[in-house]
Amino acid sequence: MSGTRANHPPTQLFTQVNVDRASHVIVDQIKQLITDGSLKPGDRLPNEREFCQQLGVSRVTVREALRVLEATGLIHVRLGAHGGSFLTSPSLEVVGENLAHLLTLSSITASAATEARQIFELGILPLILERATPEDIAALRDLVVAAKAEGGHSTAMSAAFHVRLAACTHNPAIEALMHSFHGPLISSLRVAKNVAPGMGAKGVEEHSSIVDAIEDGDLSRARAILTQHLERTAQRVAEK
């Protein structure tokens, strides 16, 4: 957006805040304005002084609200003469990280996370085979090679493979949801690894076979391997 004029939303969009925990109310107000289309990516929010006047709050409250919005990927703060707080669209990684944070803090067990993965990953498999590009196949093979080099012991590498697999759908909603599984996915893989330390190497071989089946366009074979792959993890976490 450098060199272009920023959009300025009408000042009457914002209403004064006179309740406890005002910063959270400000955040909710801005989220609602984004949802109903009154604010959109590229819009520049008022400066601190204007915000304080419109909302009837202190600069400390406004700054706290802006920090929350920036942390959730809803605004981008730029410094300098043409800087300010600009509305932006959160990246898939940010959306996934926020969902993952909520899931990680919840009481979801490794067994429940694995069961959800079985439904989700097997469900998106047809789209993966339909849409995977040569670049996707190459990226998956690179992950397999890297995992083999580590002896199949890295749960992070295993999780990265499954996240990249979901990206082959080229559906941003699916990719964001798979990112949200990252925390519970790592946890479930660690539990399974503790129960059966040697399963990592076998898992990497299955990853390689899944890529082969995808490249060959063989949905039945890919589904059979992925089903076995996920069921083994489910059995291991159930034994914990």
Tell me the per-residue pLDDT of 153-182, one tens digit each, with 9 for 90 and over. Answer: 677 888 889 999 999 999 988 988 887 776
Q: For 216-232, what is the mean pLDDT? A: 95
Dist CA 140 CA 117 (whole Å): 19
Q: For 37-43, what is the mean pLDDT? A: 87
Confidence check: pLDDT of 2 > 50: no
Question: What are the structural domains of the chain?
Answer: 11-87 (1.10.10.10), 92-239 (1.20.120.530)
Dist CA 120 CA 116 (whole Å): 6
Distances (CA, A) of 15 to 32, 68, 82: 12, 19, 26
Tallying the residues shown for the chain, one arrives at 240
Phi, psi of 155, deg, nearest 5: -70, -30
**E-only strand ranges, 137-237:** none
Task: State pTM to two decimals.
Answer: 0.61
At 94 the three-state DSSP class reads helix
**Residue type for position 44:** R
Mean pLDDT, all residues of the chain: 81
